[in-house]
Structure 1
Amino acid sequence: MSKFYTKITSRLQKFIEVQKIFFVATAPTSGRINLSPKGMDSFRIIEENRVLWLNVTGSGNETAAHLLENERITIMFCSFEKVPNILRLYGKGKEIKEGDASWDELISLFPETPGTRQIFDIQVESAQTSCGMSIPYMEYKGERNDLNDWAKEQGKEGIKNYWKKTNQQSIDGLPTHILE
């Protein structure tokens, strides 16, 4: 039922492009595993083995801390409509922040998004599909604007103050280096 790939094929790319939600999982060498749902127009396939994910300000910054420690990341897409399918991308990721050499080039691939925090550049080592036959049907009703509205209200300085207060360490105390 499951099948492994060494790259993102055109069929897998088409599947990714119609999904409204994806999940990101990372883990430190020791400590809590982080698994977070993601949405918005925040995912790009750059090459058959390279993807980008635009990350916005949130309650924590676990992915950054974990990738600094060991680079491992898994991204999962699953279909809640039509044909059942689950797709996992396994790879190594690195954080790109504003001011980094490739920032301007990479950020231009995404719409302007309030609260943008970083881009994760992921080298996909393998992809795996599985059936998803037990996943329920869900109806997409639209995007939430709550996070964008909050970020606009904070402004750039308010966002940086929020990072200072809540985004400098993972829940296990690992540094994120968000303000460096």
Structure 2
Amino acid sequence: MFIGHLPGAYLFFRAAAPGVDKLAFTAAMIGAVAPDLDMLWFYLVDSRAHHHHAYLTHRPILWVGIVLAGLMLRLRMPRAGIVLIFFGAGGVVHMALDSIVGEIAWGWPLLDASHPLVTVQATHSHWILSFLNHWTFAVEIAITVLALIVWRRGRRPILHPE
């Protein structure tokens, strides 16, 4: 995904948690893009030696672990726990979206296997052009447009729980 993580997560959380408060919703949106912060390491430190989906930030177990930590934290600090749960859930949504055309190892550390749902063939001189000209990018554009429409209409305000 190039542009679909934030809009896809926005649509998901608007539908799945319409009454969540603004802080938790914001945490989910940050979580939905946080895994790609590894691109800084990919370009600045690793010199593109390993695909960024091989880094810990693209391992679903990390994000599920954050959700579980949030569930435990919620017992002592409910507000902080909810924020952590939504942050981790945003990361899980990112992993799900990356699984469409990217290789995400859902079984790691037990299994290192990763298979995208759809394979994008190298049809152009640069891999980015191949992705941008693949039909899945049209789906990303549709998700983005739909998210913009939902955001613009503001159909359901984000409420405070309780």
TM-score (norm 1): 0.24
By relative contact order (CA 8 Å, sep 6+), the higher-ranking structure is 2
Which protein is richer in strand relative to its size? 1
TM-score (norm 2): 0.26
